[in-house]
Amino acid sequence: MIETSRRSALLAGASAVGIALAGCLSDGTESWETDEVISVTAATMYSGPSCDCCDVYAEYLEDSLTTNLETVVPEDIVALKDDRGIETGLRSCHTVELDDYLVEGHVPAETVAMLLEDEPDISGIALPGMPAGSPGMGGTKDETWTVYEIRPGDEPAVYTEL
């Protein structure tokens, strides 16, 4: 009887871990397919080691870029974000540099293109966290996402809502 309970508990635990990881491991780009063209001369993505959702986002974004996306795993991604003035509350699992702008997190290509077209006087934009249903993440979009402006030293302002 005890063995059955232990086995059930282990199975339940493994199922919970599998469900938690599913959002990051599934493709998550099906609903975000786009014909958007993002014209940049330099594109670099910085991410943590072994991050599947970062890899999927990189593939998704590169499909829209007019250049190759270089991917780099820095020794200290937190220090990199600090150096670029990305506030802790705006952070996600990866940071992309596109010419003179930063794109933090799983920002849709259309929003990235809008940033580059508008050329605002900011450092970049951020979609904090890893929202379900965003490009590179599994799941379904079930809430409004706020994309913030990155302005080192200033309070984050809303760039757009999706």
Q: Could you report the per-residue pLDDT of 104-156, keeping only the tens digit for each?
A: 999 999 999 999 999 999 999 999 999 999 999 999 999 999 999 999 888 89
Q: What is the pLDDT of residue 157?
A: 96
Return the pLDDT at 6. 45
Residue found under tokens 């010419």:
99
- Residue 11 confidence class, pLDDT cut points 50, 70, 90: very low
Show contacts of 34-39: CB within 8 Å, 24+ apart.
34/64, 34/108, 34/109, 34/110, 36/64, 36/109, 36/110, 36/112, 36/113, 37/64, 37/66, 37/113, 38/64, 38/65, 38/66, 38/98, 38/109, 38/112, 38/113, 38/116, 39/66, 39/116
pTM greater than the 0.75 cutoff: yes
What was the pLDDT predicted at 32? 76
Does the pLDDT at position 26 exceed 60?
no
- What gap in Å lies between CA 67 and CA 48, rounded to an integer? 22
Provide the pLDDT confidence category of residue 101 given band limits of 50, 70 and 90: very high
Instruction: Say how many domains are in the chain.
Output: 1
pLDDT of 1 over the 90 cut: no
Give residue 136's domain range.
Answer: 2-161
At 47, is the pLDDT very low, low, confident or very high (cuts 50, 70, 90)?
very high
